Amino acid sequence: MDTENTVTGAERVLLVLSALASHGKAMSVKDLLGVTGLAQSTLYRQIALLKRWGFVSENAGYYAPGPISLQLALGFDGNSLLVEASRNEMQQLARFSQESIGLVVAVNNQVMCLEMIDSRHSLRCSFEKGRAVALKAGASAKSLLAFMPERARTDALDSVFHDDDADRAAIEAELEQIRTQGFAVSDSEVDPGVWGVSVPIYHRAGRAASSSASITLMAPSTRAAGRERQFIDATLRSARAISEHMQTD
């Protein structure tokens, strides 16, 4: 990927920071070159700037988010209206289902987990707060795609399925069905043996309302078997309650 001539100077800094934030572990220069598509000299300049400001730390040639990033994370946790409005309903849904519950949003063609309540079972799903996966497969991705504003959905599909017309047509048909039924369900699409249901959260009411977030219940397929409708209905109730909360704040 060659992005050197397609992004501005400010965007190059953000590109490096975004790569480090989403990778989940420290990255080498080679790793960062592959992910960002920047020239090596440009990459080093961005890293030096981010290190100077405390957004990036270095250890033996590997780079990771620095201490200032922790301050940003703490500020987000303390001020996110969506997380605050969702937390109580997520806890109730987790207690009822005894399964993992995630609050997800779409960012840069990825599904990002803003908040996670893990199942107390020893066998549980591995999705965690702060991690991101491609906005392509699974209940969370499809719920976000189906209910986001039309222009944003078109742009996301253009990016994710830019070289696969057959998959693009199939996903568009599936998203139409998801919009009709009001939720997305998947089984083993992202991780083998994981079943999930995801329902949109709305910030405003009305026919023109669109969604930028979803609540997702995740469970091993073996435990979800026979309880699918129960899990779907419970997640729908939780999403509806969160949406009502968001619309009255």
> Residue 178: its pLDDT value, please?
97
Given pLDDT bands bounded at 50, 70 and 90, which one contains residue 75? low
Given pLDDT bands bounded at 50, 70 and 90, which one contains residue 1? very low
* Tokens 């995740």 found at: 218
> Residue 228: its pLDDT value, please?
97
Give the integer Cα–Cα distance in Å for 111 and 134: 6
The reported pTM is 0.71
Domains of the chain and CATH, by start: 9-71 (1.10.10.10), 80-248 (3.30.450.40)
**Residues 65 and 53 sit within 8 Å (Cβ to Cβ):** no
82-98 tens-digit pLDDT: 888 899 999 999 999 99
> Residue 112: its pLDDT value, please?
85
